[in-house]
Structure 1
């Protein structure tokens, strides 16, 4: 190993507190040296927020102003917490606790349970699906597996927003949340779920926070013990805290204000899980004397990418938009974002795959390229196009299309129908291949119209709809094709995806791409109905879709391609239009006039 390689893998630990500050820009240095009282860091995408807060902790430790064991740094994923611990070690600040909210709460709950409650702590259920199923059965409500996932998600949302079963229906109405089924039924299942947990002496993931909050509220002696251990708090991704996590943080703090929060309201994309930027935006009201530092120097993306990101937010409306940050790229100029319109979705996927194949041939590592889409159901077309082009890929944050339970089950049903179709009454009135597939998949949950709202039921429908669409395309290409031919085609596609995917192009949804970055990013399917998604109806939901696209844009370091298709299938009616979010930003388009404080609704867009 050369000296240069060794220094890259094992960077030299700074030999003094002042050495910790070397290499920081003025704003990052302001963060690192603001060690007293409440501090709010508003950090845009790519501005080095993790660098700023880890150097802040390390500077405080090395200067003797912070004791490592008295610092608790909280973030939202184990990956982020691990990265933070690693950086702190490299800076000579080992011993600082860097954990997720759940990890920190669980540690405290396990330690204080014997003293606060007595006996052994209840077992934590790994997955709540079975408990939800038992609760639904006890309520005599039939739910399939995807409906169970949606019910579980509603229970999770209720608990992190501190909503009890009796208040569920009113809370969903207040938040404009579309319940996956009758709110009264969800509330009934939720109440029974809590009862079954008590009977079986188990707790779930959210209870870890709820019980820790309960103990700290009820036992002043235990609260004081925790506060004597931790005197200084840092919270990353503060725009994503839920009301429950905020309450836990308040109990950790007590009447002190040694708190540093870091966040960006323009990257709030998880409100469906209970996250809210309100705590970040209200920080200065709760702490009038807070030090506020804005990080706007973007070290990740070229000026061309940053210009588009700033343009997206300049059209935003609402509270988060009022606090947007104007990023300033620190990188050399790069190519302008490419905007490409395709006739149909397969052509869009093939176009992206061709360009990626050329990039890889030109020396761009496949692992530095990503294709980002709005929903996981879009992945199949791109999986197939990359496989056909001989480009390795890896799917992030979701199962491969043909590995999804509903797709495997649908494939088995189609295979059985192809084998015994003559005796299947479902197929009696099906005159062609697409109608045969629709008939078979209707028994698996496919319907002519999508279910309301988002969630697992909608995702399952999207997967089945993708198979129906594939049958239409297959029949158009081969008018004499049988159901058996289609099954063989599905098997061939599934097998093609079993190629090694190490160091491949990343396929990911926009949500699962948060926190990641690549040299080259393809944002695909950026059309009305997908971005923003069809079921985003309120102004708040539309604005969250805009922020989601902003997150996608800011994942790109050097090259960005944005594309959309005018129709779904080859030969289809070209009825789609590019996303309204691109109006005035892509060449040849003009900005759309919007009433102050409002996003254009789908109805008004249709009239225009």
Structure 2
């Protein structure tokens, strides 16, 4: 049985790829891990692999699921595939939560959800926590309580199981009062026919575990699965992926443990490190050619990364030769740091819109803005509110 044909011949899909990318794209059935270093063209590889499945392997677009970590990445992947293959509109490209929510919108009544159930966003969640605190006559900050709930649900654990990790008083509440708040919060959510963000995957996981008929239907819809940024999956996302993959395990996980940054959101680096143990016989493909950075930067980066205790072997190789040597400036304080950055930008010269300055906390932007303004360098704060 043949699926829709590509608007480009299959050979054309392979021609623009390097050898490692090509081998990953040619992978057909069974589990595969693509260890993709920064700037190595992992998104390109995934997109071409999906297109190749449709064009040359006879897979229908309606049998493919691709999971990304952001809605923006999902939109970009969909748009790229639309330009490459016919029938791309039938592809299932989404985030974990969007995929789980789609399942619940169809089958949610089987786990007690009412039709048209609502999903609380962060503001709704914070407002409900405040209501619960007021109802119980307690004074506490909602932020830490929300963080506790989110962390527990990302790990797939009951909030009370995290109590041993907390100080005796958390957010100004004793452990007993903390449990009262958590219990009342969950009761209020259910009474309002609502889920919070963390509930979405938990309910979908429960549904797929308890209802074999639904699981079979969803597996038919997700016969070939791709998961991007696999190193950043949390325990619930991991279990959701394994359940969908099933025994057939046509799963391609793409990621790099050297780029794991979401442990504060319960991401577990072991998910990618132990992939070949979880899926015996899995093929491993390494994308090591870097198209983004110069040789000097990669030499410096490789020397640092090799010291990571938990990693999969990989050495990035530059496509771009040469480059300025990496320099380290040790600032005396935050003001000296801002001065150095401003003077380096002046040294580069205009146009200044080709320069970006990244900082870890919003509080750092004030000194940077002042240093740039005093030297006549125009600047705009992106994704935040400037002080000037």
Do they fold alike, i.e. is TM over 0.5? yes
Contact 2:34 2:286 in 1 (8 A): yes
Contact 1:313 1:324 in 2 (8 A): no
Deviations 1:361-404 (CA, angstroms, capped at 9, x unpaired)? 2x4x51x322222323222211222233333334345x325xxx
Question: Which residue in the other structure is 1:157 paired with?
Answer: 151
- Give the CA deviation at 1:190: 2.2
Aligned mates of 2:13, 2:184 — CA distance in 1: 54
1:33-112 map, 5 Å: 33-92=26-85, 94-95=88-89, 96-112=91-107
Q: 1:70 to 1:204 in 2, by over 3 A?
A: same
| Alignment partner, residue 375 of structure 1 | 361
Aligned residue number for residue 263 of structure 2? 271
Aligned CA distance change for structure 1 residues 189 and 290 (closer, same or farther; 3 Å):
same
TM-score by length of 2: 0.90
Is the aligned partner of 1:289 residue 2:277?
A: no
5+ residue gaps, structure 1 = 1-12, 402-493, 498-608
Report the equivalent of 2:318: 329
Matches within 5 A, 1:181-200: 184=175, 185-200=177-192
Is 1:131 aligned to 2:128, yes or no? yes
Structure 1 counterpart SS, 2:72? helix
CA distance in 1 between counterparts of 2:133 and 2:361 reads 28
Mapping for residues 332-347 of structure 1, pairs under 5 Å: 332-347=321-336
* Distance of 2:256 and 2:363 partners within structure 1: 29
Q: Which runs of 5+ in 2 are unaligned?
A: 1-5
Deviation at 1:346, TM superposition (A): 1.7
In 2, Cα distance between the equivalents of 1:39 and 1:346? 48
**In the aligned structure 2, how far is the partner of 1:149 from the partner of 1:142?**
12
Contact kept in structure 2, 1:77 and 1:100, CA below 8 Å: yes
1:27 aligns with 2:16: no
Change (3 A) 1:182 1:305: farther
Match of 1:349 in 2: 338
Kept in 1, the 8 Å contact 2:63–2:223? The answer is: yes
Alignment partner, residue 223 of structure 1: 215
Q: Is the 8 A contact 1:116 1:219 kept in 2?
A: no
Secondary structure at the counterpart of residue 348 of structure 1:
helix
Write out aligned runs for 1:134-533 (5 A).
Answer: 134-143=131-140, 147-170=141-164, 172=165, 184=175, 185-317=177-309, 319-320=310-311, 323-361=312-350, 363=351, 365-366=352-353, 368-397=354-383, 399-400=384-385, 494=387, 497=388
SS of alignment partner, residue 329 of structure 1: strand
In structure 2, how many angstroms separate the alpha carbons of the residues matched to 1:181 and 1:17?
62
* Separation of aligned partners in 1, 2:279 and 2:344: 51
1:354 Cα shift? 2.4
Within 2, Cα distance between the matches of 1:181 and 1:25? 56
Asked whether the equivalents of residues 114 and 121 of structure 1 are also in contact (C-alpha less than 8 Å), the reply is no
Aligned pairs for 1:524-603 (under 5 A) are none
TM-score computed with the length of structure 1 as normaliser: 0.59
Deviates more, 1:234-243 or 1:305-314: 305-314
> What secondary structure is seen at the aligned counterpart in 2 of 1:190?
helix
Whole-angstrom CA distance in 1 between matches of 2:287 and 2:178 = 43
Distance 1:189 1:255 in 2: 41
Shift of 1:136: 2.7
Alignment partner, residue 3 of structure 2 = none
Deviation at 1:92, TM superposition (A): 1.7
Per-residue deviation, residues 262-311 of structure 1 (Å, max 9, x unmatched): 01101111101111111111110011110100111111100111111112
Count of equivalent residues: 377
Cα 1:348–1:117 shift into 2, 3 Å = closer
In the alignment, the residues of structure 2 paired with residue 71 and residue 287 of structure 1 have an alpha-carbon distance, to the nearest angstrom, of 19
Q: Does 1:121 align with 2:116?
A: yes
Match of 1:593 in 2: none
Query: Residues of 2 paired with 1:36 and 1:234: CA distance?
Result: 12
Residues 233-259 of structure 1 show CA distances to partners (whole Å, capped at 9, x for unaligned) of: 000000011111112222322332100
1:44 Cα deviation from its structure 2 partner: 0.8
Structure 2 distance, partners of 1:371, 1:186, is 41
Q: Once the 2 structures are TM-superposed, how far is the Cα of residue 114 of structure 1 from its aligned partner?
A: 4.4
Q: Superposition pairs for residues 10-21 of structure 1, below 5 Å?
A: 15-21=8-14
Shift of 1:183: 7.3
**CA-CA distance at 1:76 after TM superposition:** 0.6
Q: Structure 1 residues 357 and 199 mapped into 2: Cα distance closer, same or farther (>3 Å)?
A: same
Larger radius of gyration: 1
